[in-house]
Amino acid sequence: MDIEAERLKRKREVALGYRIFASLRWGDLGDGHITARDPEHPDHMWLLEYPVGFERATVDDLVLVRPDGTTADGREINMTAYNIHHPIHEARPGVVGVAHTHTPWGTPFCATGRPLKAITQEACTFHERWALFDDEEVQILNRNGGERIARALGDAQVGMLRSHGLISTGRSVGETIAAFVTLERVTEALMKAPDASPISDEAAVIARDDLVNYRSLEMAFGFLVQRHVGDPSVVG
């Protein structure tokens, strides 16, 4: 692996992810975070400097966060992001990206405590790959809360934090962002059609495996960049 090239790729995808979220009008209050594991120092992660608006995110605005929550260059970060994301990165060595923000459909869906049923083709992506953090701790004040989220998430790709919001992970940052956007669309369908008949387990597994093998989320990230950012070089 070319460490510098991989680091730059991950940082660019983080910055692009923030801009995609901003275009979707998520994170207007600074409520959300995207992280990437550093390829050379896997116990470190990259995070947007605080307070920098999502719509302004560039590679230069990203800060390297140490395992203890301090930053390599002294810049400020959103400590809630550290409390939530670091324990997930620590518990899941295969996870490169983690994303969380508050969204119009995901947050109210999380408040219901309902399971993530496969009622649409997109929902099949997460069939047997989702988890619920069923807890009233919505203000994650320390790493203990994040560790409990990580345990609840297990090896699932996506999760719902009850009365809080959605969270996604991925083998790349791009996959993580596309998974999050897809999950928001899934929760929108579940909120709009709460009595819909679920897809059978057999059909959901077939759809899931095909979507995963086709690497649909990685491809979706490219479409999201085109639609919501345009020229990816804007992030540096």
Structure confidence by residue, pLDDT tens digits, 70-80: 999 999 999 99
Give this prediction's pTM: 0.97
- State percent of the chain over pLDDT 70: 100
Burial degree of 29 (CB within 10 A; 0-12, 13-18, 19+): exposed
What are the DSSP calls for 124-163, one per residue? GGGTT-EEEE--S--S--SHHHHHHHHHHHTT-SEEEETT
Predicted local confidence at residue 1, as pLDDT: 83
Question: Model confidence at 138, in pLDDT bands (50, 70, 90)?
Answer: confident
Predicted local confidence at residue 212, as pLDDT: 85
- Cβ-contact 86, 146 below 8 angstroms: yes
Q: Which domains does the chain have, with CATH numbers?
A: 3-235 (3.40.225.10)
Predicted local confidence at residue 230, as pLDDT: 96
